[in-house]
Structure 1
Amino acid sequence: MTKKVYLDNAATSPVRDEVIAVMTQALQECYGNPSSIHSFGRSARSAIEKARKSIAAHMGAQASEIIFTSGGTEADNMILRCAVRDLEVERILTTRIEHHAVLHTAEILAEETNVELEFIEVDSEGQPSMSDLENKLSASPKKALVSLMHVNNEIGTIIDIQKVAGLCEQYEAYFHSDTVQSVGHYPWNVAELPIHFITAAAHKFHGPKGVGFAYIRKNTGMKSFIVGGGQERGFRAGTEPYHNILGMEKALDLALENMDKEKAYVKDLKSYFIDQLEERIPGIAFNGCSSDLEKSTYTLVNTRLPLNEQQALMLLFHLDLKGIACSKGSACQSGSEGGSHVLAQVLDEKQNRCPSLRFSFSIYNTKEELDYVVEVLEAFVKEGAVAKV
């Protein structure tokens, strides 16, 4: 039987057993429409609002500032589009290495409206230039929205979100951060951070797919994004997925309750994996700062293998045959014919010709699994070297 190793947790993570139990109970026992006034509906509504208060408390927010969505993509779309429509935003400042939920939305807004789209420079580690951001903020009096992800989903770079927030506050710009890769993995307190909007997706921290939330600071003036009902304080119409929301609440509870212990465990896995790769595969390199345990998230590493383009075509197929799941780029990108838009910005042309793989870890991985992956990669690279001779 082929061994199965799942190292694509940045794309989506396994759902915890405790989360499945909460969702199953919700589906079985509380199936009323939360908008109904009878006891079945009132019971569902009460549980949703309890979950909202719990999630808000974890984030340092007020319950009214948490809007449940179908996930991070919808939340990012919602915030960018409503900022332009409702907040008189005339400029969007972002980078070319954002998730496409932000990047494509910003590009479409620039095409469809009068909003100006400007890209902040990034270095080879994927860090946005603070001086370039400040120069752009100070260059125009037009109302701006800065959108910079906290943790890059492909190379794991962590930006100085406090510094970005400070610059936005100084120049009276709105600040949005796609925090899909950091909520549930790092502590948050939006009450102590001058940030207006963040987004999260439950399936990135061992919760269910199809649910997430947007934090929208109170009194920003945003109006309804999806119309048709009064749900989510009139901001997002549609019957709430009660079971998913409770599953997300439980997943976030557990993620934060066990954060220190689980972070140490996963960080040790990443460190061990990097050491083994460097020891056994000569010529391997790491993209961005993903091998730096302080500058990048502990949950992933992005590798570049010493293989030619022909061998690269077979690499993911070979790993899949060996039961190993990882990503060429982000999962949202892997079905496209083009390469990673992130790596295109941080690598030179020669580096970008080598195949890159993102491996992302969770509490359900083991060092024994990593040994197997390194063994498979080592054998594939050696076979390629023999073929070249």
Structure 2
Amino acid sequence: MIYLDHAATTPVHPEVAAVVQDVMSNCFGNPSTLHAIGREARGLLDKARQQVADLICARPEEIFFTSGGTEADFLALWGVVSSRKGRGSHIITSSIEHHAVLNNCAYLAELFDCRVTYLPVDGAGMVDPDDVRRAIERETALISIMHANNEVGTIEPVEEIAAIAREEGIPFHVDAVQTVGHLPIDVNRLGVDLLSLSGHKFYGPKGVGALYVRQGTPFTAVLRGGGQERGYRSGTENIPGIAGLGQAADIARRDLEEETQRLQRLRDALIQGIEERIPGARLNGHRTRRLPHNVNFSFPDVEGESLVLGLDLQGIAVSSGSACSSGTGEPSHVLRSLGLPESYLNGAVRMTLGRANTEEDIPVVIEALEGLVRKLGRLFSA
């Protein structure tokens, strides 16, 4: 199997699996207890908090562990908006956000009398910082723009947006689920106030993530209970998963530069080969400001899901878009926002590279994809 769906999830790194297994077998304590077994668990918790903080150049006390990226997005949005104590507020986001942001914005609009502005993007999936500035109102409580899009891989101008937010005194949240572990991230250089990440996107375990909250950001606890995570996210911590997340953060920091350069070479070879071999292929997303491992193409008058299934039969795993939206039968909201012609909307394939992929995979994928596009194109045009 050639696995090209790392944006959906990554295999657990062997070093991470070893840490998780060791903690599961040998450290069962509750980190909130005072005895030696509990203190051992607390030590692992503190170590992982430092490891995650180091990966994004934050302070450990600014890291709050969650069950994943969706919960981290939820906590960011609700924590800031609910801190306004029921007063009407305004959120600015983009039309291409992950549903973890879009659906929670819609829910907040119902519960807290919020208004939400959904900014458009250009044909490459880029938010215009000037649109952010124009959308700001007196009641704007939060700006939430993703660091890079999970489907088309476009990297957004978050530093410019952060500067605008800081100038206006508005908290700025970034969904960085697709970039943490794949791009160098310094929350201070980016200027963000809140940042979401998820372990299984960079070779950590599923079911664990984190939210960075800059000290001084207005934020109210949403999950209340025993006061864990300094009262912001109650519930006994998942120590094996958190330890695994910390180990994955260490590995990502160690290998980031070399692995990013390698994946960029594979990505560019795959893009070049598809454009040379398959007439009508359209690259979705920004050509240069894109994730190092993301390749997303649309093919006219071909069903993307048919391509996914056809490649799967040949031992190549890809997706037709976000794993969270697959199977709906509806064209991607991201591709619609890019303004793709109708004939291209349903014919998208996302290929996302990872550690196990090699140069030898690229011609195999191109040949298989070319054959399928030609075959399916004849069938749909018949």
TM-score normalised by the chain length of structure 2: 0.95
Deviations 1:246-269 (A, max 9, x none): 111111111111111101111111
TM-superposed deviation, 1:384 = 3.3
**Structure 2 CA distance for partners of 1:110 and 1:92, relative to 1, 3 Å:** same
Matching residue of 1:344: 336
In the alignment, is residue 81 of structure 1 matched against residue 78 of structure 2?
yes
Return the letter of the residue paired with 1:204.
K
Q: Secondary structure at the match of 1:94?
A: strand
Q: Distance in 1 between matches of 2:218 and 2:91?
A: 18
Q: Secondary structure at the match of 2:173?
A: strand
Contact 1:97 1:341 in 2 (8 A): yes
Which sits farther off after the overlay, 99-108 or 116-125? 116-125
Contact 1:147 1:176 in 2 (8 A): yes
- After the TM superposition, which residues 59-138 of structure 1 pair with which residues of structure 2 at under 5 Å, given as runs? 59-87=56-84, 90-137=89-136
TM-superposed deviation, 1:313 = 5.3
State which of 318, 332, 341 in structure 1 corresponds to 2:324.
Answer: 332
TM-superposed deviation, 1:71 = 0.6
Which sits farther off after the overlay, 300-309 or 92-101? 300-309
Q: Distance in 1 between matches of 2:27 and 2:84?
A: 38
State which of 287, 292, 317 in structure 2 corresponds to 1:298.
Answer: 292
Matching residue of 2:313: 321
**Structure 2 CA distance for partners of 1:225 and 1:302, relative to 1, 3 Å:** same
Q: Secondary structure at the match of 2:9?
A: coil
Which sits farther off after the overlay, 365-374 or 254-263? 365-374
State which of 233, 239, 243 in structure 2 corresponds to 1:242.
Answer: 239
**Structure 2 CA distance for partners of 1:308 and 1:297, relative to 1, 3 Å:** closer
**Structure 2 CA distance for partners of 1:211 and 1:37, relative to 1, 3 Å:** same
CA RMSD of aligned residues (A): 1.6
Q: Distance in 1 between matches of 2:339 and 2:89?
A: 32
Return the letter of the residue paired with 2:313.
L
- Please list every run of 5 or more consecutive structure 2 residues that lacks an aligned counterpart in the other structure: none
**Structure 2 CA distance for partners of 1:353 and 1:297, relative to 1, 3 Å:** closer
Matching residue of 1:357: 349
Return the letter of the residue paired with 1:364.
A
TM-superposed deviation, 1:68 = 0.2
Q: Distance in 1 between matches of 2:327 and 2:264?
A: 29
- Please list every run of 5 or more consecutive structure 1 residues that lacks an aligned counterpart in the other structure: none
Q: Distance in 1 between matches of 2:332 and 2:140?
A: 31
State which of 145, 163, 168 in structure 1 corresponds to 2:165.
Answer: 168
Contact 2:228 2:234 in 1 (8 A): yes
TM-superposed deviation, 1:354 = 4.6
Contact 1:302 1:357 in 2 (8 A): yes
Matching residue of 2:365: 373
**Structure 2 CA distance for partners of 1:167 and 1:265, relative to 1, 3 Å:** same
Q: Secondary structure at the match of 2:38?
A: helix
Q: Secondary structure at the match of 1:276?
A: helix
Return the letter of the residue paired with 2:198.
A
Return the letter of the residue paired with 1:58.
L
Contact 2:159 2:189 in 1 (8 A): no
**Structure 2 CA distance for partners of 1:192 and 1:276, relative to 1, 3 Å:** closer
Q: Percent identity?
A: 39
TM-superposed deviation, 1:320 = 1.9
Q: How many residues align?
A: 379
Deviations 1:332-377 (A, max 9, x none): 0103222211001103343444510110001211122222221211
TM-score normalised by the chain length of structure 1: 0.93
Contact 2:299 2:344 in 1 (8 A): no
Return the letter of the residue paired with 2:93.
T
Q: Distance in 2 between matches of 1:257 and 1:63?
A: 19
**Structure 2 CA distance for partners of 1:249 and 1:116, relative to 1, 3 Å:** same
In the alignment, is residue 154 of structure 1 matched against residue 146 of structure 2?
no
State which of 211, 215, 220 in structure 1 corresponds to 2:212.
Answer: 215
Q: Secondary structure at the match of 1:106?
A: helix
State which of 198, 208, 212 in structure 2 corresponds to 1:201.
Answer: 198
Which sits farther off after the overlay, 364-373 or 158-167? 364-373
Matching residue of 2:45: 48
Matching residue of 1:261: 258
- Deviant stretches of 4+, over 4 Å: 385-389
Q: Secondary structure at the match of 1:184?
A: coil
Q: Distance in 2 between matches of 1:351 and 1:385?
A: 12
In the alignment, is residue 16 of structure 1 matched against residue 13 of structure 2?
yes
Contact 1:202 1:212 in 2 (8 A): yes
